[in-house]
Amino acid sequence: MVAANKIVVCDNGTGFVKCGFAAENFPRHVFPSLVGRPILRAEEAINRDVILKDVMCGDEAAYVRSNLQISYPVENGIVKNWDDMEKLWDYTFHERLQVNPKEMRILLTEPPLNPKANREKLVEMMFEKYGFEGTHISIQAMLTLYAQGLRTGVVIDSGDGVSHVVPVYEGFVPQHLIRRLDVAGRHITQYLIKLLLLRGYAFNRTADFETVRQIKERHCYTALDPVVERRLALETTVLEETYELPDGRVIKLGRERFEAAEALFQPHLIGVEGPGLSDMLFEMCQKADIDLRTEFYKNIVLSGGSSMYPGLPSRLEKDIKDRYCAEVLKGDKARLSKFRLRINDPPRRKHLVFLGGSVLANFMKDVDEFWISKREYDEQGVRCIDKLKTSTHLGGVILCSCHAARAWVVSEHLMMEQYTRIRLLGEGSFGRVFLMRENAVDGGGLVCVKDIPVLHVSSSKKTRRGGHSSSDGLNEAHLMQKLRHPNLIAYRDSFESTNHRHLFIVMEYCSGGDLHAKLQRKQAKHCLESETNVCLWLVQLCLGLHCMHHRRIMHRSVPAKMTSFGNDRCDEPTTAE
């Protein structure tokens, strides 16, 4: 059992439950938000390792989902089946977290526009069914902003069942400005199944759903310009990728890679009426008070698993600028340079709601005004939820003041808590590059961490040889953060050490090596690279450079040593500089 003084943090999403404890950087457990009951006779063995039970939840249900009748307690972010939700919470608290609720407090999350009756039922179950000492419920969008150290901004939260555009001003959510889009991860997976069927690959919508979801997460991306991508798919094979199915078959994907995620921007593709994500964001900001628009445009934060598609931040920025130029500036592109738009895409945005809840619960653990206590519930009943109106705002004020004090500076200890060093990849006058692994609960991938020694000198003095000014390093991190494209090495995160002497930039790791080494190996074997491969590489390099030029960033050169080959294959070059 876990120590009694810990605070449980539970983010119940449509697709996944993320649960853990306050002050932790990652959720302890992430598992599917589903409940299954056997189609076959209960207790019938499927194999030596798995026995069907009357009710199965989470991972154990997902493992044998083809033998179960599956139900999802949460639909479009809102609990619809409270009996199954109770089964899922039993599984969460007793089997996964192994806690005694009567000795603990819990912070729960809820979507925007959650019906009051649902909130009352939630509080009732936490106290009467489980007996928690205290409870707090926070809106997911606010937790996302808190995790970023903000109290004002716009959150684009796209998970498995629903997408929301939620404005927050000084810790308050203007309800009339919230926008909802009934397109998210689950719908995109179903659309990908349809697209693959048109290509000749038949997948079962239930039994093969998990396989197609994995295909989506590995190969799908958002097109900066769908017209250009469709032309590329029609006239070349540059977009083609392969995927090996569990049964050993290999399938090919082409335009399906970007067409699936296009449903977020063109909902009519899957039969959903209304504006897409970009239009929804622009219209929401323009309907806000004129004094708030600047702050909203400067503080847009992405959150949720369906915001993880490569290229999505760049597509949002392009669409917003195009509409702003056409409708607000009346086509005057010269004035567009004064328009300040910033889309924050934190690398851990898949679990950003949990992180915000973890930090908030830890900061407020000793503030009684923040929590609804068991005694208050016994005295007032469900009317005690009125306390949340003031306690949530109080938590935001305290938390964000602490964020402002420490900014984004972290210690090397915290960085080592998030990453495990494997080996040195290289070093030069710029510093050193290490291969590291993310310490994530869901496996964690390999990343490159660039360690740049920083010399703090005034702008009037030249930086001493062997070091960089702090502004140089920060500019590099800022530029990389702006560039999101499948053919550019992806920026993940950046940290500054507490002594301000080192800047750490976390980047995507390309395991295929660089172009220079590849050509040398060919030369050693006295053979030439095929003309087809060379053409493919050239097109992909041009696509990456086009993205940089679109962002007004000019390339000095594209040396072979700075051109790397992407993960799991050696036919997709990615420029590093």
Q: Which DSSP string corresponds to 204-234? A: -TTTTHHHHHHHHHHH----SSHHHHHHHHH
Identify the residue whose tokens are 């690959």.
201
Please state the rounded mean pLDDT for residues 247-266.
94
Q: What's the pLDDT score for residue 297?
A: 95
Q: Output the DSSP codes for 278-333.
A: HHHHHHHHHHS-HHHHHHHHH-EEEESGGG-STTHHHHHHHHHHHHIIIIISTT-G
Q: Is the pLDDT of residue 473 over 70?
A: no
Rounded CA-CA distance 382/431 in Å is 58
Q: What's the pLDDT score for residue 401?
A: 56
pLDDT tens-place string over residues 320-350: 999 999 999 999 988 998 899 999 988 888 8
Copy the structure tokens of residue 74: 């949460």
Query: How does the average pLDDT of the chain come out, rounded?
Result: 83
The model's confidence at residue 561, banded by pLDDT at 50, 70 and 90, is confident
Q: What's the pLDDT score for residue 6?
A: 85
In order of 95, 106, 310, 374, 489, the CA distances from 480 in angstroms are 42, 38, 13, 48, 8
The separation between CA 529 and the C-alpha centre of its own chain, rounded to angstroms, equals 38
Copy the structure tokens of residue 443: 């496996």
Rg (CA), the chain: 25
Q: Is the pLDDT of residue 391 over 80?
A: no
Q: Is the pLDDT of residue 476 over 90?
A: no
The SS3 assignment for 33 reads coil
Q: Is the pLDDT of residue 516 over 60?
A: yes
The SS3 assignment for 137 reads strand
Checking DSSP bridges between strand 300-303 and strand 153-158, what pairing results, if any? Answer: parallel
CATH class, 7-147+350-406 region: alpha beta
Exposure string of 478-509, with b = 16+ CB inside 10 Å and e = fewer, is eebbbbbbbbbbbbbbbbbbeeeebbbbbbbb
List the strands of the sheet with 35-38, edge to edge: 56-57, 35-38, 68-71
Q: What's the pLDDT score for residue 40?
A: 61
Where are the chain's structural domains? 7-147+350-406, 185-270, 412-508, 515-575
Q: Residue by residue, what is the 3-state secondary structure of 236-281?
A: CCCCCEEEECCCCCEEEECCHHHHCHHHHCCHHHHCCCCCCHHHHH
> Which sign does the torsion angle of CA 354, 360, 366, 369 carry?
negative
Checking DSSP bridges between strand 16-21 and strand 78-79, what pairing results, if any? Answer: unpaired
Q: Is the pLDDT of residue 179 over 90?
A: yes
Is there a contact between 210 and 246 (Cβ–Cβ < 8 Å)? no
Exposure string of 93-116, with b = 16+ CB inside 10 Å and e = fewer, is beebbebebeebbbbbbbbbebee
Q: Output the DSSP codes for 378-418.
A: HHHGGGGGGGHHHHHHHHHHHHHHHHHHHTTB--HHHHHHH
Is there a contact between 19 and 97 (Cβ–Cβ < 8 Å)? yes
Q: What's the pLDDT score for residue 518?
A: 82
The model's confidence at residue 536, banded by pLDDT at 50, 70 and 90, is confident
The model's confidence at residue 247, banded by pLDDT at 50, 70 and 90, is confident
Percent of the chain with pLDDT over 70: 83
Is there a contact between 378 and 370 (Cβ–Cβ < 8 Å)? no
Please state the rounded mean pLDDT for residues 213-225.
93
Is there a contact between 111 and 12 (Cβ–Cβ < 8 Å)? no
In order of 98, 254, 270, 442, the CA distances from 186 in angstroms are 30, 21, 12, 19
Is there a contact between 107 and 8 (Cβ–Cβ < 8 Å)? yes
* Highest-scoring range by mean pLDDT, 53-57, 282-286, 535-539: 282-286
Predicted TM-score (pTM) of this structure: 0.73
pLDDT tens-place string over residues 279-318: 999 999 999 999 899 999 999 999 999 999 999 999 999 9
The SS3 assignment for 342 reads coil
Q: Is the pLDDT of residue 435 over 80?
A: yes
Q: What's the pLDDT score for residue 475?
A: 65
Is there a contact between 477 and 494 (Cβ–Cβ < 8 Å)? yes
Q: Is the pLDDT of residue 502 over 80?
A: no
pLDDT tens-place string over residues 149-162: 888 999 999 999 89
| CA distance from start to end of the chain | 49
Please state the rounded mean pLDDT for residues 551-558.
74
The SS3 assignment for 499 reads coil
Q: Is the pLDDT of residue 118 over 50?
A: yes
Long-range contacts of 63-69 (CB under 8 A, 24+ apart): 64/36, 65/34, 65/36, 65/206, 65/207, 65/209, 65/210, 66/206, 66/207, 67/38, 67/39, 67/40, 68/36, 68/37, 68/38, 68/39, 69/36, 69/37, 69/38, 69/39
Of 500 and 430, more confident: 430
Q: Residue by residue, what is the 3-state secondary structure of 69-128?
A: EEECCEECCEECCHHHHHHHHHHHHHHHCCCCHHHCEEEEEECCCCCHHHHHHHHHHHHH
Angle at 325 between CA 324 and CA 330, to 5 degrees: 110
Superfamily, domain 412-508: Phosphorylase Kinase; domain 1 (3.30.200.20)
Closest alpha carbon to 177 in 153, 159, 160, 161: 153
The model's confidence at residue 393, banded by pLDDT at 50, 70 and 90, is low
CATH class, 185-270 region: alpha beta
Q: Is the pLDDT of residue 135 over 50?
A: yes
Q: What's the pLDDT score for residue 466?
A: 45
The model's confidence at residue 44, banded by pLDDT at 50, 70 and 90, is very low
Supply φ then ψ for residue 473, to 5 degrees.
-65, -40
Is there a contact between 344 and 299 (Cβ–Cβ < 8 Å)? yes
Kindly report which listed range (250-259, 441-450, 530-539) carries the lowest average pLDDT score.
Answer: 441-450
Rounded CA-CA distance 305/68 in Å is 25
Q: Is the pLDDT of residue 405 over 60?
A: no
Rounded CA-CA distance 101/94 in Å is 9
Identify the residue whose tokens are 């702050």.
295
